[in-house]
Amino acid sequence: MGKVYRGVYAARTDRGRVRNGNEDQASAAVNADDEVFLIVADGVGGFARGELASKMAVDSLLESFRAKRRSRLPFLDRLFFRRAIREANSLIFETARGNEDNCGNMSTTLVCALISGSRLWVASIGDSRAYLLQDGKLVPLTEDESYVQALVRAGKISEKEASVHPKRHIILNALGVYPSVSFTLSYRKYRGEPILLCSDGLYTQVREEDIAQVLLTDQRPEQKAMSLILQANMNGGSDNVAISYWEAFPHD
């Protein structure tokens, strides 16, 4: 079955300094076959709808993950993501449809990472992000599905302009909005690098270089997550923050 990576992880959320509630969720888990699963979800909807959507997404995906078994066949990992995300989407959509107060106002971003031996899979919907720490720098593993990122790709604005654009919080895709869902799934070889998942409440408040510096310290993962949240809040704390972080032990 190949290598098995073992390590330590942390998953934390924080309300921030401005929002009244917390619509972010984060989780990290290891299943019976020593696969690692990280999740971050940033709920959309307000009035507790976003909070419910993100919690339903995380709970549903964790349930699917716990039932998963490691396989030599990569296509079975793809199938896992397809089934798990579709189930989570249907759960949120049907819940919203069953309550007219929620209909059209209950969804969530989603980013999740699966480490299965030497395979790293990352699925994303919306603008929550996944990073890999390599050679002291953050390597993006996802691309935002947002209005401003679409403008950047079209060459209409720069990355710097996107960071202060008045419509930078508008996302173009979310879990639970429609009966069917589309998501981006990427794959790469995994060699034991630290993996960080986060909501926009972190990366809009803390520069990637500063995030990397925290991850390079000898703090425990829980302390690193708390240090990042502290920095986000010190820089304004304008949004909820969710962090899911994995650090593998040195591997022969």
The SS3 assignment for 171 reads: strand
The residue type of 231 is Q
**Best CA proximity match to 238, nearest among 11, 2, 16, 14:** 16
- As averages over each run of 10 residues, the pLDDT of the chain (252 residues) reads 88 96 97 96 84 96 96 95 98 85 77 97 98 97 87 78 72 93 97 97 96 98 98 96 96 64
DSSP 80-135: HHHHHHHHHHHHHHHHHHT-TTTTTS-EE-EEEEEEETTEEEEEEESS-EEEEEET
**Best CA proximity match to 16, nearest among 205, 168, 244:** 205
Q: Give the pLDDT confidence score for residue 180 in this predicted structure.
A: 95
CA distances from 189 to 103, 198, 249 (A): 40, 21, 17
117: left (phi over 0), alpha (psi -120 to 50) or beta: left
Phi, psi of 40 (to 5 degrees): -135, 135
Q: Give the pLDDT confidence score for residue 101 in this predicted structure.
A: 61
**Best CA proximity match to 48, nearest among 40, 39, 56, 38:** 56
Q: What is the DSSP letter of 154?
A: T
Q: Give the pLDDT confidence score for residue 156 in this predicted structure.
A: 82
Q: Give the pLDDT confidence score for residue 1 in this predicted structure.
A: 57
Handedness of CA 202, 149, 131, 177 (dihedral sign): positive
CA dist., res. 106 & res. 214, Å (int) = 34
CA 208-227-204 angle, to 5 degrees, is 35
Q: Give the pLDDT confidence score for residue 158 in this predicted structure.
A: 72
Round to the nearest angstrom and report the end-to-end CA distance of the chain: 16
pTM of the predicted structure, to 2 decimals: 0.94
> Is residue 57 a contact partner of residue 27, using CB atoms and an 8 Å limit?
no
Q: Is residue 78 classed exposed, middle or buried when 0-12, 13-18 and 19+ CB atoms within 10 A define those classes?
A: middle
Q: Give the pLDDT confidence score for residue 104 in this predicted structure.
A: 55
Domains (range + CATH), the chain: 7-140+174-247 (3.60.40.10)
Helix residue spans in the chain (DSSP H): 49-66, 74-97, 147-153, 159-162, 200-203, 208-215, 221-234
